[in-house]
Amino acid sequence: MQPEIATSDFHMHSTASDGGYSPAELVEKCHNVGLTQIALTDHDTVDGVAEAIQQGEKLGIAVVPGIEFSCVYNKKSVHMLGLGVDVNHTSFQEMLRHQRELREKRMNVITQKFAALGINIKPGDVLQEAGSGSIGRPHIAKVLVKYGVVQTVAEAFDSYLAEGKPCYVEKEREMTVKEAIDWTHEVGGLSIVAHPGYYGLNHEIIHWITDWGMDGIEVYHRDHDAHDKTTFEDLCREAEQLTGKVIMRSGGSDFHHETYGRKQEPLGHTRLSNHYANQIMTELSHRNQQA
């Protein structure tokens, strides 16, 4: 179990990717529910970080610059968090621009599949929905809701956009788990596997830590039940015995909007204990001093 005091959340999304609130609005909402340390971890982009940090400084909230990488491992989709990344690193920014180009290309192929079904989606409407953010299937889903094709984003995925559905398109080039770990370390961050309860890759996660240097596990997530949390705490301890180093326990709400997600819940419901959050902050400070 987590220690009692918990005012931290190290996994959330803004309109810079597929969240429902701007970075500034999100930080203000965090302030309103009593959070004091947060990480903005938009999908494959850090474009919202500067705005979030600026708002955090106004409201007295520590904002960790983060990202959630979309990756693949043995053809299975895996998400990797990078916490404390240098958002101004030139090569990092170039890599993210390339990822955005691939997302736009994928979006165009998806809209072509919809056209073949007699559903004409204007690419401009999807781009408008995404704004300056990282384009993803949720933006197409929102356009479908606006067009009246479906009632909800969840229905759009269940009927058209999820893997195996008629308009699903694989990404042309997926980042690998090892690449995500290496990029995170290159830009001074901590690499954490996100919501491992989704994957069934516990043995592989140990390998990512012992052989590739991954720093931690998102033990606490809105979709992890008590058994999951115990399982991943045990996994951290196993990795610590094998490596002789402290493995970071991270966690957060994975908040996008009150009405998004597999399990809808208000911001502030799923939190990370300050004990574990402070371990992460201390390790990031230590790495920055060594850089």
* CATH value at residue 223: 3.20.20.140
Q: Examine the domain organization and report whether 90 and 186 are in the same domain.
A: yes
pLDDT band, residue 1 (cuts 50/70/90): low
Q: Examine the domain organization and report whether 62 and 118 are in the same domain.
A: no
Among 161, 182, 200, which residue terminates a domain? 161
Among 161, 185, 207, which residue terminates a domain? 161
Q: Examine the domain organization and report whether 109 and 90 are in the same domain.
A: no
User: What's the CATH code of the domain at 125?
Assistant: 1.10.150.650
* Nearest one of 189, 175, 151 to 65, comparing CA atoms: 189
Structure tokens at 159: 């009927």
Q: Examine the domain organization and report whether 141 and 278 are in the same domain.
A: no
The pLDDT value given to residue 289: 78
Q: Examine the domain organization and report whether 78 and 195 are in the same domain.
A: yes
How is the chain split among helix, strand and coil, in percent rounded to 5? 45, 15, 35
On whether residue 99 sits in a domain, the answer given is: no
* Nearest one of 56, 19, 57 to 41, comparing CA atoms: 19
**Count of domains for the chain:** 2
On whether residue 100 sits in a domain, the answer given is: no
Q: Is the pLDDT of residue 82 over 70?
A: yes
Q: Examine the domain organization and report whether 23 and 56 are in the same domain.
A: yes
Q: Which domain holds residue 139?
A: 105-161
The Cα-based distances of 48 to 55, 65, 205, 209 in angstroms read 11, 9, 29, 29
On whether residue 1 sits in a domain, the answer given is: no
On whether residue 238 sits in a domain, the answer given is: yes
Q: Examine the domain organization and report whether 245 and 191 are in the same domain.
A: yes
Q: Examine the domain organization and report whether 117 and 20 are in the same domain.
A: no
- In whole angstroms, give the CA distance from residue 42 to residue 14: 6
The helix (run of H) or strand (run of E) holding residue 86 is none
What is the phi/psi pair of residue 16, to 5°? -65, -20
In this structure, is the dihedral angle defined by the CA atoms of residues 80, 129, 262 and 200, taken in order, positive or negative?
A: negative
Q: Examine the domain organization and report whether 196 and 116 are in the same domain.
A: no
Range with the poorest average pLDDT among 96-100, 199-203, 248-252? 96-100
Q: Is the pLDDT of residue 280 over 80?
A: yes
% of the chain at pLDDT higher than 70: 97
Q: Examine the domain organization and report whether 187 and 48 are in the same domain.
A: yes
pLDDT band, residue 186 (cuts 50/70/90): very high
Give the predicted TM-score (pTM) of the model. Answer: 0.87
- Looking at residue 141, its amino acid is A
On whether residue 2 sits in a domain, the answer given is: no
- In whole angstroms, give the CA distance from residue 167 to residue 262: 20
On whether residue 186 sits in a domain, the answer given is: yes
Q: What is the mean pLDDT of the chain?
A: 94
- In whole angstroms, give the CA distance from residue 222 to residue 251: 9
Cα 124 from chain centre: 25
* DSSP symbol at 158: I
CB 218 within 8 A of CB 195: yes
CB 96 within 8 A of CB 69: no
pLDDT digits (tens, 9 = 90+) for 90-110: 999 999 999 888 888 999 999
The pLDDT value given to residue 132: 66
Q: Examine the domain organization and report whether 248 and 280 are in the same domain.
A: yes
Structure tokens at 290: 């060594």
On whether residue 46 sits in a domain, the answer given is: yes
Q: Is the pLDDT of residue 167 over 60?
A: yes
Q: Is the pLDDT of residue 2 over 60?
A: no
CB 65 within 8 A of CB 85: yes
CB 37 within 8 A of CB 62: yes
Q: Examine the domain organization and report whether 187 and 56 are in the same domain.
A: yes
Residues with Cβ < 8 Å from 231, sequence gap 6 or more? 197, 202
On whether residue 166 sits in a domain, the answer given is: no
* DSSP symbol at 247: P
